[in-house]
Structure 1
Amino acid sequence: MKGPLLFAGVVAISLASAQAAPLHEAGLAQAQPEDANVDSHELVRLSQWIRDEKLDIYSLLVVKDGKLIFERYGAGASRDSNYELYSVTKSVTSMVAGMLIAQGKVSLDDSVATRLAAWRPDLRADFADKRNVELKHLLSMSSGLHYDFRPKDDPIYYAAPDRLKLAAETSPKAAPGSQFEYTDINPILAAAMLSAAAHEPVEQYAQAKLFGPLGMKHAVWERADRSGLVSAGWGLRLRAVDMAKIGMLVLDHGRWQGRQVVPEEWIAQMTSPAVAPYFGYYWWINNVVQSEPEFDAMGFKGQFITVLPKRNTVIVMTSVMSVDGGLRDAKNLQQFRHMVNGYVIPALDNRRHAQPSARARAQMDRELAVSAQTQGIPGAQVDPTDMPR
């Protein structure tokens, strides 16, 4: 990606900060860690480790029992900032797919060729060899389609005026459903199929049926191509508190404040193994924590929504961290695993039986004040789209 390397100062905002915008409009309650039986000492240690490692983290949130108990921002971000989520977009798309399926507007068994040849008759010939590729194969990353990605600045991300045409021109290399291969051709086809099913752009459907009902301020789905099609794989921008709501939907089986927004059956299905044991329908399974049930959404450069059902906890992070190491071994993922397993889970375990106290609150406030003066160093090249808005 193009763009200058930027240094981002870490700005940490505690729950006690008078500068923090009120949470009532976000639909989230708040509490001090010990009020939720969480050891703030471990979270303070985590913040110190982040400073020591000079990690460029824009936001880090922990929600326990529906209450925001830890909230840390950096790089000039705030509670109202939104972020480029990269592939976390896929996980949100999966929820949209489940809603459309429940309405009977599309089926997991719908053929890419049948649905999209009708939607884009000009590409009918290109879709002819994809009759056996179905929506479920796109969502489980098992379409078997081959695309020759360029090492840098591939046109599907940047310059292609019509991404769907590029996706339509791909060739089958494996039987659909036979093997897992994570490729960003699939979410382009998925965005088109869902838009066709909704009879409106997928981002407009998502705004009306998901973002709006959950009070997601500043939600925007960008980076459409010249034809107006967004990708289901990147381009969505949400606030960290709204990312937390996505995780809370998973925790509460698709309900938000008592209202069923995403079908309960779909939440279970999208977080169950499909073709790969660690991947459902655009949701990862035990990718961050392996010792207990865990689901997560994961995006390029270190964007995460991690759901711990056993602990009724959601962890959210946005950042610019190293992408070295590949999809499931990237350095940013390794660092996030360390943060969750080494600090957040011990905090949730509260082995010290820490109790609410003015001292604990003061210690956290002091640490976050120090963090506010600490600069993080990006672990990857920073693009304009990466900056909080």
Structure 2
Amino acid sequence: MSMSHVRLAAIALALNLASAGAALAQSVAPADDAGPAVAAAVPEAVGVDSRPLVRLSEWIRKEDLDVRSFLVIKDGKLVFERYSRGLGRDHNYELYSITKNVTALAAGVLIDEGRSRLDEKVAPVLAKARPDLKAALADKQAIELRHVMSMSTGLFYDFKPTDDPIYYGAPDRLKLAAETTPRRPPGEAFDYTDVNPILASATLGADAGMPLQAFAEQKIFKPMGMAHYAWERADGKGLVSAGWGLRLRAIDMAKLGMLVLSGGRWNGRQIVSQAWMRTMTAPSSAPWYGQFWWINDIVATEPEVHAMGFKGQFIVALPERNAVVVMTSMLPIEGGLRESKNVLAIRKMVNDFVLPALDNPSHAGPTPARRKALAHELDLASRHQGKPGAPADPTDTPRL
């Protein structure tokens, strides 16, 4: 927008959440017509050995893991689709930090359109929209968007594990983020803190001239034919976090992995530029972290990019295999950020079962016996409950 007063109005609109954005934040939206859905195929029809995938499902049941969905896509075809607890394709899930990965894609669109820049200083943008926070933002003038999205702002937040207001019932998350204390200069070190996605949501919404979730719907969800999506848990001022609150179906999570593999294209349309996809998935503040995306931390033997969410939500893209793995679950969180039990679980699943299935040295075609074994196991899995490995919040309940 060229006129300053129009720009100010747009920023205020973004940060205070106009009614259209509020509706999206609180409800499930229908899909737009964006071409055919992801087609299913028998694993062996695209060179995948179904037997390791059957063994994977058996192992999940044997360990009594609460894995709610597990998908494998190979060459654009859905070759393995496992649900438990009677769930199905249309259920959506709270994705926690995978919300950050979608935020990174939205940031790429804004950068492609010239409305955001990685070297953009976030404090002036936010102070213009929220003059009441100008003093609190005064010591954050050097923080750039790249620092926010690479977890290197150097900000310290005194996290309170029980009902911390940054997550639960916050009247004004941006105020909490603005009042944090700089602990080290921006760009100096990786430090994973959920202050950063709040700054990202507010800054990108201001750049977009609309709430971030409304921009993502317009530029990502609808063009990619997603359904039953919702971006919830807005604060008292209507600002959603860019770090949690997004709900997607597992099949739509898979589409995000496919978008990464395709260099930002979906059904012949360039959703995000190839240049941004390279930047987003290149090491930034740490060898294993780019711009809100993780790199080469699940598979050690070949290139890999992934999205990771609290309690065991994952999208793993394997470029050399042209394959995507998706999991939603309620697995244990103990062990730290990169070594939690749910991270160890997805590493085992991908390395010990999925990669052998993709290798398939015999290249055997579909057989009645393999089809029967796969169908039988998926039927058993559909009725398996699994023992939740983490405390459940109301948002953890899958929804239609």
- The aligned counterpart of 2:300 is 290
Query: C-alpha displacement at 1:353, in angstroms?
Result: 3.1
Which residue type is aligned with residue 46 of structure 1? Answer: L
User: For residue 207 of structure 2, what is the aligned residue in structure 1?
Assistant: 197
Identify the match of residue 193 of structure 2 among 172, 178, 183: 183
Secondary structure at the aligned position of 1:126 is classed as coil
Whether 1:137 aligns to 2:144 is no
With over 3 angstroms needed to count, the CA separation of the structure-2 counterparts of 1:25 and 1:363, relative to structure 1, is farther
2: distance between equivalents of 1:159 and 1:237? 18
Work out the number of aligned pairs and report it. 366
TM-score with structure 1 length normalisation? 0.93
Alpha-carbon separation, structure 1, partners of 2:37 and 2:63: 33
**In structure 2, what is the equivalent of residue 4 of structure 1?**
none
1:255 & 1:61 partners in 2: Cα distance? 21
Structure 1 residue 381 and structure 2 residue 391: aligned? yes
CA displacement at 1:367 relative to structure 2: 1.3
TM-superposed CA distance for 1:87, in Å, is 0.3
Residues of 1 paired with 2:286 and 2:309: CA distance?
18
Cα offset, 1:349, TM superposition: 0.4
| Equivalent residue number for residue 85 of structure 1 | 95
Distance 2:256 2:364 in 1: 29
Is the contact made by 1:112 and 1:127 (CA closer than 8 Å) also made in structure 2? no
Paired residue for 1:62?
Answer: 72
Q: What 5-or-longer segments of structure 1 have no aligned partner?
A: 1-23
How far apart are residue 354 of structure 1 and its match?
A: 2.8
For the pair 1:72 / 2:82, whether they are aligned, the reply is yes
Q: Shift of the alpha carbon at 1:152?
A: 2.2
Q: CA deviation at 1:287?
A: 1.2
Deviations, residues 60-99 of structure 1 (Å, cap 9, x unaligned)? 0000000000001122321001100000110110000010
Match for 2:317 among 307, 322, 332?
307
Aligned equivalent of 2:116, options 92, 95, 106: 106
Matched to 2:40, the amino acid is Q
Measure how far apart 1:263 and its partner are: 1.1
Classify the secondary structure of the residue corresponding to 1:30: coil
Question: Is residue 362 of structure 1 aligned with residue 372 of structure 2?
Answer: yes
**CA displacement, residues 250-286 of structure 1 (integer Å, 9 cap, x when unaligned):** 0000000111001110111100000100000000001
Aligned partner of 2:21 in structure 1 is: none
- In structure 2, what is the equivalent of residue 18 of structure 1? none
Q: Which amino acid aligns with 2:335?
A: G
Deviations 1:189-245 (A, max 9, x none): 000000100110000000011100101101110000010000000000000000000
Name the structure 1 match of 2:52: 42
2:99 and 2:243 in contact (8 A); partners too? yes
Q: Which of 311, 325, 329 in structure 1 is aligned with 2:339?
A: 329
Residue of 265, 271, 280 corresponding to 1:255? 265
SS of match in other structure, 1:187 = helix
Equivalent in the alignment of 2:354: 344
| Structure 2 residues without counterparts, runs of 5 or longer | 1-33
CA contact (8 A) 1:57 1:75 kept: no
1:230 aligned residue (232, 240, 249): 240
Whole-Å Cα distance in 2 between the matches of residues 139 and 349 of structure 1? 35
Q: Which amino acid letter does the alignment assign opposite residue 95 of structure 1?
A: L
Report how far residue 159 of structure 1 moved.
2.5
Give yes or no for the alignment of 1:31 onto 2:41.
yes
In 1: Cα distance, 2:126 partner to 2:57 partner: 48
Please give the secondary structure, in 1, of the residue aligned with 2:135. Answer: helix
Deviation digits for residues 120-144 of structure 1, max 9, x if unmatched? 1111111111100010000000000
Equivalent-residue separation in structure 1 for 2:36 and 2:328 (angstroms): 18
Residues 26 and 297 of structure 1, relative CA distance in 2, 3 Å threshold: farther
Does the 8 Å contact 1:62/1:313 carry over to 2?
yes
Query: Do the aligned partners of 1:26 and 1:242 also contact (CA within 8 Å) in 2?
Result: no
The equivalent position to 1:280 in structure 2, one of 287, 290, 295, is 290
* Partner of residue 94, structure 1: 104
TM-score (norm 2): 0.90
Q: Report deviation, 1:150.
A: 0.7
**Over the residues paired in the alignment, what is the CA RMSD in angstroms?**
1.1
What is the match of residue 152 of structure 1? 162
Matched with 1:121 is 131
1:25 Cα offset (Å): 7.1
- Are the counterparts in 1 of residues 169 and 236 from structure 2 also a CA contact under 8 Å? no
Q: Distance in 2 between matches of 1:203 and 1:168?
A: 21
Task: Indicate conservation of the 8 Å contact 2:83/2:381, yes or no.
Answer: no
Q: Give the secondary structure class of the aligned counterpart of 1:376.
A: coil
Q: Which amino acid aligns with 1:138?
A: V
Residue type of the alignment partner of 1:96: A
Kept in 2: contact 1:285–1:295 (CA 8 A): yes
Q: 2:85·2:383 contact (CA, 8 Å) conserved in 1?
A: no
How far apart, in 2, do the equivalents of 1:358 and 1:44 lie? 15
Partner SS state of residue 346, structure 2: helix
Q: CA deviation at 1:370?
A: 2.1
Deviation at 1:247, TM superposition (A): 0.3
Partner of 2:219: 209
Percentage of identical aligned residues: 59
What is the alpha-carbon distance in structure 1 between the residues aligned to residue 53 and residue 82 of structure 2? 10
